[in-house]
């Protein structure tokens, strides 16, 4: 019955196509005597050639076409896909290791089907022609199938006449939208009264070949043979055929489309382009000639198939730190990805209607309603049930009611997990907030895992805390491509499938009829108990586990809201990852518990999308590092950032050039510097709206007390003198977890103080000025040499931009004296660098010993310069020198 339905469908399809296409098939009689399975391999000039080939290639056998999932699942074509028994192929145009694995499995499955006698129609190139000739390039599917299947009849098909059709790439310079063009063609057919359409002449040449006659010694040899067949007549020129004899366009300028599609790499630094070429040459294991380095050179032409192109794109993402929505197909697009200029969909983001509903007016002060995280959240959710709480572009907008229901249902699953501590590895998102709150409701201890530390850093964290289960998402892990040993992954996608509609409805009903029930079942920790485990940044030593208590976090939130004079009507943009102390407290817990709505974006390096999120969701508050702020300002269009009223930066000094540029485009903005440490939950001080001293890190917040002491004697210092900053108060932690070395506390004036390890000074008004890390000072000849001080003038002359920092200074003390190195991405001589320092007033021992030009300054996931890695380079070189 199915075969008869297919035959009827193809008959109707031929009749419909005949209204527009005059098809001539040559060599069809050669298929009559073939026995065994068929593997039909056509070229692919346009989207319309599969239905033309399938409906006209009558060989007495049913052919199963391989169809990419986007087309297969389209509502317009899905019923047809089921009737013709099409084989669904995952789409490798998006970055997905999962799709990579599925494609490899697909080849095995299709080979098995061929061996069992089924017949397939497969396009060896795996994509539409981008020009008037076919490029199979490095595609592997034909070769892999022929390697695995010996008893198969190979049929080559060459189609001519479709290049220039609206269903091909010639008219748009890229892949056309299939559904839109199909509907447009149907309308033209109806407008032409079905029978009165100019016809496009199409020829199909069918050539059966002996499998053993094909060059199967390598993938490359087979693909070149196929290309020679498809392009035997030199390819074809684009031809335009009108849709009407009476009206409409009569011609088309294909050359103009082709020139507009060229990739412009003129604004990309030569160094980036050179590095892309080197990575590409390493991948190909050969040198590129000059013609192959042209931006328009396709990766297919270089011999990279879809899987290899995807691997290459993922390698570039990890190397350069930028992301793109699609896999590059040309050398020029690789360069755009490496430079962070990959094209993206610039349509305005759609903001959920509920996001702007019930927006608070006036200046009502935010308030945290309890002394533990779980209770504070539930009380806030019940008091603001219908107000928007959190949003992102993937999950949409959640009200407090929805967030409470989701966190409660998830907490029931998390409560059953083995062990007290559970790992959380998610980017800034609605999902991360939900998981963090659910672990609190479940009475578990969340351990925030920093995936940027790599497998070794993750193993260090999970082993120290004895974490057995890590909560994450398949989508996120697929993107990261990180393997974790010794733990079991708890995927949110699996949990979502386990929660029944009935359970959701019961929880929803409880929020209306028995809201008190959510408070009754809460865990009752002591406020002094750890609420979360974070890790130090690892910029200068191995990360240490930092347990922060409920008291620490809530004290910091309350003091921070008071200090910065936040309003319930504010909206916050949160993109710092939750393993970052500021990302956890300031952009996740604080807004949710205090009643400030927050919109998240998962990738802090995706500066263009961050600017678009600001333009769409109109946040008034943003917390960032200067590096991330630089990215956003550099990538924004006029007016996109206008909603911001307050931006607080920390973690590193804000360069004067960045401050000036930001204030030029946002003159009404309060751009304030602050200071925080993971061990202090994290905010210690900050400038305030209306009370700002640029160049300082502001005044201490009201939950802590600070004092400046002599670095060695620990005696308090007078105002204005630089010394070691000590901190005590409710937001300061009680000590590192399982830490063998001495804890970072000092006894001064009868009190226990946290030793920040930072050198600061205080003026008469209490404003703190950051002078540098104690660990980033070298003691030379009895004098202290500040590495940050040496870096400052150079960083001002060569400010960071969207590509990251351009300079960093690191050094070590050694037996023969010292070695202070300027690492830079710029061409600077040692004399020029030291002249810059002299002009800034430095002399004597305050100088550089060496300049090293490198491709990029290493940074951590938080955006901070990775000084530990820089110092390791100096130490390793010093060891080699000593040995020789």
Cis bond leading into 682, ω under 30°? yes
Q: 781: pLDDT confidence band, cut at 50, 70 and 90? A: very low
pLDDT at 861: 62
pLDDT at 501: 84
Burial of 769-802, coded b for 16+ CB within 10 Å and e otherwise, reads: bbbbbbebbbebeeeebbbbbbbbbbbebbbbeb
Please report, in angstroms and rounded to a whole number, the separation of the first and last CA atoms in the chain.
82
Q: 740 vs 396, which has greater pLDDT?
A: 396
- Report residue 544 as tokens: 């240490």
pLDDT at 59: 63
Work out the number of other CB atoms within 10 angstroms of the CB of residue 480.
14
Q: 782: pLDDT confidence band, cut at 50, 70 and 90? A: very low
Residue 323, pLDDT above cutoff 70:
no
Q: 736 vs 454, which has greater pLDDT?
A: 736
Read off the DSSP letter of residue 290.
Answer: G
pLDDT at 390: 95
pLDDT tens track for 345-354: 566 778 888 8
Contacts of 818 (CB under 8 A, 6+ apart): 778, 780, 785, 811, 812, 849
Rounded mean pLDDT of 261-266? 67
Q: What is the pTM of this model?
A: 0.63
pLDDT at 817: 63
Residue 649, pLDDT above cutoff 80:
yes
Q: 34 vs 420, which has greater pLDDT?
A: 420
Q: How much of the chain, in percent, has pLDDT values that exceed 90? A: 27
DSSP assignment of 291-359, as one string? GGGSTT-BTTTTT--HHHHHHHHHHHHHHH----SS---BHHHHHHHHTT------SPPPPPGGGGTTP
Q: 777: pLDDT confidence band, cut at 50, 70 and 90? A: low
Q: How much of the chain, in percent, has pLDDT values that exceed 70? A: 87
Residue 307, pLDDT above cutoff 70:
no
pLDDT tens track for 788-846: 778 888 888 888 877 778 899 888 776 556 788 999 999 888 888 888 887 876 666 67
pLDDT tens track for 237-258: 888 888 776 766 777 766 666 5
Contact, 488 vs 468, CB < 8 A? yes
Contacts of 769 (CB under 8 A, 6+ apart): 695, 696, 697, 760, 761, 762, 763
- Report residue 370 as tokens: 């309890």
Contact, 856 vs 804, CB < 8 A? yes
Task: Give the integer Cα–Cα distance in Å for 806 and 809.
Answer: 11
pLDDT at 306: 62
Of 5-14, 289-298, 818-827, 867-876, give the range with the top mean pLDDT.
Answer: 818-827
pLDDT tens track for 49-76: 888 888 888 766 778 888 888 788 887 7
Q: 178 vs 806, which has greater pLDDT?
A: 806
Rounded mean pLDDT of 18-32? 85
Cα separations (Å) of 276 from 33, 93, 295, 823? Answer: 51, 20, 11, 21
pLDDT at 343: 65
Residue 569, pLDDT above cutoff 70:
yes
Residue 783, pLDDT above cutoff 60:
no
Domains within the chain, CATH numbers bracketed:
2-255 (3.40.1130), 265-338 (1.10.1200.10), 353-704 (3.40.50.12780), 781-884 (3.30.300.30)
Helix (H, G, I), strand (E, B) or coil at 479: helix
pLDDT tens track for 580-625: 888 999 999 999 999 999 999 988 877 778 888 999 999 999 998 8
pLDDT at 439: 96
Q: Closest Cα partner for 377 from 567, 578, 599, 550?
A: 550
Only one residue has tokens 């061409």, namely 827
Rounded mean pLDDT of 383-397? 91
Decide the pairing of beta strands 38-42 and 119-121: parallel
Q: 884: pLDDT confidence band, cut at 50, 70 and 90? A: very low
Q: Range with the lowest mean pLDDT among 179-193, 429-443, 679-693? A: 179-193
Average pLDDT, the chain: 83
Q: 611 vs 652, which has greater pLDDT?
A: 611
Residue 95, pLDDT above cutoff 50:
no
Residue 87, pLDDT above cutoff 90:
no
Q: Treating both helix axes as pointing N-terminal to C-terminal, what angle do 400-414 and 430-441 enclose, rounded to 10 degrees?
A: 60
pLDDT at 585: 94
Residue 527, pLDDT above cutoff 80:
yes
pLDDT at 795: 86
Length of the chain: 884
């Amino acid at each position: 019955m199915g075969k008869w339905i297919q035959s009827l469908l193809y008959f109707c399809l031929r009749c419909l196509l005949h209204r527009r296409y005059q098809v001539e098939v040559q060599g069809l009689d050669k298929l009559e005597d073939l026995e065994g399975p068929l593997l039909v391999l056509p070229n692919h000039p346009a989207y319309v050639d599969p239905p033309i080939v399938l409906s006209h290639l009558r060989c007495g056998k049913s052919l199963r076409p391989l169809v990419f999932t986007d087309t297969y699942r389209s509502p317009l074509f899905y019923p047809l896909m089921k009737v013709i028994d099409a084989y669904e192929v995952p789409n490798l145009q998006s970055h997905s290791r999962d799709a990579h694995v599925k494609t490899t499995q697909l080849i095995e499955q299709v080979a098995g089907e061929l061996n069992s006698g089924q017949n397939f129609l497969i396009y060896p190139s795996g994509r539409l022609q981008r020009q008037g000739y076919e490029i199979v390039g490095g595609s592997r599917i034909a070769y892999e199938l022929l390697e695995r299947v010996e008893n198969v009849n190979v049929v080559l098909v060459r189609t001519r006449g479709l290049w220039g059709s609206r269903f091909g790439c010639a008219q748009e310079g890229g892949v056309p939208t299939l559904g839109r063009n199909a509907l447009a063609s149907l309308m033209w057919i109806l407008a032409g009264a079905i029978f009165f359409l100019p016809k496009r002449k199409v020829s199909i040449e069918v050539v059966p070949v002996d499998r053993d006659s094909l060059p199967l010694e390598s993938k490359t040899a087979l693909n070149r043979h196929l290309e020679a067949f498809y392009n035997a007549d030199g390819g074809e020129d684009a031809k335009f055929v009108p849709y009407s004899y009476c009206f409409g366009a009569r011609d088309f300028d294909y050359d103009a489309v082709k020139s507009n599609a060229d990739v412009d790499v003129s604004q990309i630094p030569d160094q980036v382009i050179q590095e892309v070429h080197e990575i590409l040459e390493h991948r190909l294991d050969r040198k590129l000639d000059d013609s192959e380095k042209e931006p328009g050179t396709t990766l297919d032409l270089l011999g990279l198939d879809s899987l290899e192109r995807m691997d290459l794109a993922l390698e570039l993402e990890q190397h350069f730190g930028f992301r793109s929505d699609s896999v590059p197909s040309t050398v020029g697009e690789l360069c755009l990805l490496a430079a962070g200029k990959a094209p993206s969909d610039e349509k305005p983001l759609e903001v959920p209607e509920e996001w702007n509903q019930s927006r608070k007016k006036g200046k009502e002060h935010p308030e945290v309603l309890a002394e533990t995280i779980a209770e504070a959240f539930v009380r806030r959710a019940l008091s603001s049930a219908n107000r928007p709480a959190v949003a992102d572009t993937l999950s949409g907008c959640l009200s407090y009611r929805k967030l409470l229901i989701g966190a409660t249902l998830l907490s029931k699953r998390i409560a059953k997990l083995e062990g007290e501590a559970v790992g959380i590895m998610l980017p800034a998102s609605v999902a991360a907030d939900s998981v963090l709150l659910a672990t609190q409701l479940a009475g578990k201890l969340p351990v925030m895992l920093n995936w940027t530390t790599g497998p070794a850093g993750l193993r260090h964290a999970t082993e120290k805390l004895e974490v057995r289960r890590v909560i994450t998402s398949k989508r996120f892990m697929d993107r990261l491509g990180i393997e974790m040993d010794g733990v079991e992954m708890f995927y949110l996608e699996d949990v979502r499938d386990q929660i029944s509609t009935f359970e959701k409805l019961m929880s929803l009903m409880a929020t209306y009829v028995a809201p008190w029930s959510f408070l009754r079942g809460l865990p009752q920790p002591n406020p002094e108990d750890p609420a979360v485990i974070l890790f130090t940044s690892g910029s200068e030593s191995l990360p240490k586990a930092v347990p922060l208590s409920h008291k620490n976090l809530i004290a910091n939130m309350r003091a921070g809201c008071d200090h910065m004079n936040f309003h319930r009507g504010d909206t916050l943009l949160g993109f710092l990852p939750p393993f970052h102390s500021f990302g956890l407290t300031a952009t996740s817990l604080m807004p949710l518990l205090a009643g400030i709505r927050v919109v998240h974006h998962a990738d802090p390096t995706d500066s263009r999308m961050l600017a678009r999120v600001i333009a769409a969701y109109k946040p008034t508050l943003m917390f960032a590092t200067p590096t991330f702020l630089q990215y956003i300002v550099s990538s924004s269009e006029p007016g996109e950032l206008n909603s911001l009223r307050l931006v607080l930066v920390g973690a590193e000094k804000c360069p004067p050039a960045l401050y000036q540029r930001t204030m030029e485009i946002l003159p009404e903005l309060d751009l304030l510097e602050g200071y925080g440490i993971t061990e202090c939950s994290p905010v210690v001080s900050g400038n305030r709206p209306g009370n700002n001293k640029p160049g300082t890190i502001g005044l201490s917040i009201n939950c802590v007390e600070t004092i400046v002491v002599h670095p060695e004697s620990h005696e308090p210092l007078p105002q204005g003198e630089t010394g070691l900053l000590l901190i005590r108060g409710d937001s300061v932690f009680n000590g590192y977890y399982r830490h063998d070395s001495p804890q970072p506390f000092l006894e001064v004036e009868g009190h226990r103080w946290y030793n920040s390890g930072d050198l600061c000074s205080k003026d008469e008004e209490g404003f703190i000025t950051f002078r540098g890390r104690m660990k980033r000072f070298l003691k030379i000849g009895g004098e202290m040499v500040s590495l940050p001080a040496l870096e400052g003038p150079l960083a001002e002359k060569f400010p960071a931009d969207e590509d990251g920092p351009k300079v960093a200074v690191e050094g070590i003390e050694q037996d023969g004296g010292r070695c202070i190195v300027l690492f830079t991405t710029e061409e600077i001589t040692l004399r020029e660098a030291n002249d810059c320092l002299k002009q800034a007033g430095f002399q004597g021992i305050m100088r550089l010993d060496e300049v090293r030009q490198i491709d990029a300054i290493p940074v951590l996931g938080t955006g901070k310069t990775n000084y530990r890695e820089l110092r390791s380079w100096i130490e390793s070189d010093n060891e080699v020198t000593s040995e020789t």
